[in-house]
Amino acid sequence: MQTASSTVRLSPASDIIDALQNSLTRSQAITPDLETTYPRFTNDPIIESKDRTVSAITERQQQLDAVLHEFLDLETVMDFKLHHQLVEKKDKITQSMNLPKELVSTHWRLPTEVLSQIFVHCLPETSHFSPAPKLAPVLLTRICRRWRDVAVAMPSLWCRLELEVDHSDWQQQAFCYDSWLKRSQGRPLSFAFKCYIGQSTKLRRLLQPYRNQISSLSIRSYCGVAIPEPLLINLPALQELAITIHSHDRITNIAHSISTSQLRFTLRSLKVIGSMLGLETLSSFNPIWTHLKNVEIATRHADAFIQLLHLCPDLSSLTIHAHFDQKQAVEPFTHSKLQSLRISFSSAPTNRLHDLFNALTLPNLRVLEAGFARAWPHEEFKALLTRSNCPLESLIFSTGVITTDKQRTEYIALIPSLEVVVNPKRYQCFNLL
């Protein structure tokens, strides 16, 4: 035990200064550029390999060892400020090593199954995807080699495509689309594209190798351009078809072409947007209606609505925009399989909705949504529920429908398990015109 009179051996001042200078010189020589970070994800197709990352970690470890060695060299000349600086350097080096360690332990070791699930959740919330470099799934192939391998091997990422045929280099576009479609690996395909003048031939040639895979097709016709009917009738696997067209004559021609093709046996869902369909146009689609499960159309006539139910005995879901602008005698009709009915009316003061409710009996109805019905026929709707004795689960009042608390309570009294939703901002599928 040392006392106040004990002697302590101290190095001469010149030796201390020399030791400090030598230590600082060595410290500067080995101090790494701690602001330099490890490689992060970039837009380049391939980043530095795992081996280079591990090599960088080894280099950092050597630097850390050198700093720790400085502590031993300076035991006799320890300065508080210098000690503080060394501690900071050590902490920075340790912190800089954390990122690559995490990258090695998670990014490189993440199971393919987990990575695949993450990729699915990265997809845009749209029905079809465009090959944009900054959006999934293309973006996923530009992160690193492993991500690219996993994404390219997932056919579910490449089964929905939005085609845009513009006036740029078509060969480059076609190569891009073809590369995308090859990654689907024979899975069912869903397409959405727009028809412009002089482009239908290009589309047919592009899609020809994949026609047996196409199960869903959405076509928009602009500026009076005819929809390529040969493309429609030469799709043996097509089950869903959506057409946006504003020409009544062309709708009739398309209906005739489809009704005489193989599509009358395969088609299960039909959506016609932009044109009002009457009894004559509905008849021109025969015999397609027989096998349809889902339909979305617009019509001006209540009798056409009832006729559609007659033509579609297997119909499960119907979305219709109605513009009943005149009083018509509607014959009573029972449809035993219809489960979902979404109906939107025009803004006309008299929408004749009560005539329709008086005629219908829907014993299997589970979901009903109504929009733009200014004069809601409360008593007629109650009679429909009573007459149908249906297992209605969800009743949705959307834009333009005004009901009272008392009326909604009466509906729940008829069907206690019924959920009534009032959402004036909802605009579900009511954009047919």
**Among 124-133, 160-169, 221-230, whose mean pLDDT is lowest?**
221-230
Inform me whether the pLDDT recorded for 174 exceeds 60: yes
Average of pLDDT values for 29-35?
Answer: 49
Helices (DSSP H) in 260-392: which residue ranges?
263-266, 279-284, 302-311, 353-359, 378-388
Q: Whole-angstrom Cα distance, residue 235 to residue 401? A: 41
Average of pLDDT values for 12-37?
Answer: 51
Confidence (pTM): 0.69
Query: Residue 47: its pLDDT value, please?
Result: 46
Average of pLDDT values for 272-291?
Answer: 87
Percent of the chain topping pLDDT 70: 70
Q: Whole-angstrom Cα distance, residue 28 to residue 56? A: 19
Would you say 244 and 221 are in contact if contact means Cβ atoms under 8 Å apart?
Answer: yes
Mean pLDDT comparison of 36-45, 102-111, 361-370, highest-scoring range = 361-370
Inform me whether the pLDDT recorded for 8 exceeds 90: no
- Estimate the share of the chain in helix, then strand, then coil, as percent rounded to the nearest 5: 45, 15, 40
Beta bridge partner(s), residue 189: 214
Q: Whole-angstrom Cα distance, residue 339 to residue 226? A: 35
Q: Whole-angstrom Cα distance, residue 344 to residue 430? A: 6
Tokens of 227: 């929809």
Query: Residue 433: its pLDDT value, please?
Result: 37
Please give the backbone phi and psi of residue 410, each rounded to the nearest 5 degrees, phi first: -65, -35
Query: Residue 9: its pLDDT value, please?
Result: 43
Query: Residue 428: its pLDDT value, please?
Result: 47
pLDDT band at 161 (very low <50, low <70, confident <90, very high): very high
* DSSP-derived 3-state class of residue 303: helix
Would you say 71 and 121 are in contact if contact means Cβ atoms under 8 Å apart?
Answer: no
pLDDT band at 80 (very low <50, low <70, confident <90, very high): low
Q: Whole-angstrom Cα distance, residue 177 to residue 365? A: 42
pLDDT tens digit sequence for 382-406: 999 999 999 999 999 988 788 899 9
Query: Residue 402: its pLDDT value, please?
Result: 85
What does the mean pLDDT of the chain come to?
78
List of residues 6+ apart from 53 with CB closer than 8 A: 38, 39, 100, 103, 104
Query: Residue 224: its pLDDT value, please?
Result: 55
Helices (DSSP H) in 103-144: which residue ranges?
112-122
Higher-scoring residue by pLDDT: 204, 233 = 204
Query: Residue 13: its pLDDT value, please?
Result: 46
Inform me whether the pLDDT recorded for 2 exceeds 50: no
Higher-scoring residue by pLDDT: 273, 11 = 273
* DSSP-derived 3-state class of residue 230: helix
pLDDT band at 432 (very low <50, low <70, confident <90, very high): very low
Report domain extents, the chain: 14-107, 121-158, 162-267, 295-433
Q: Whole-angstrom Cα distance, residue 141 to residue 122? A: 12
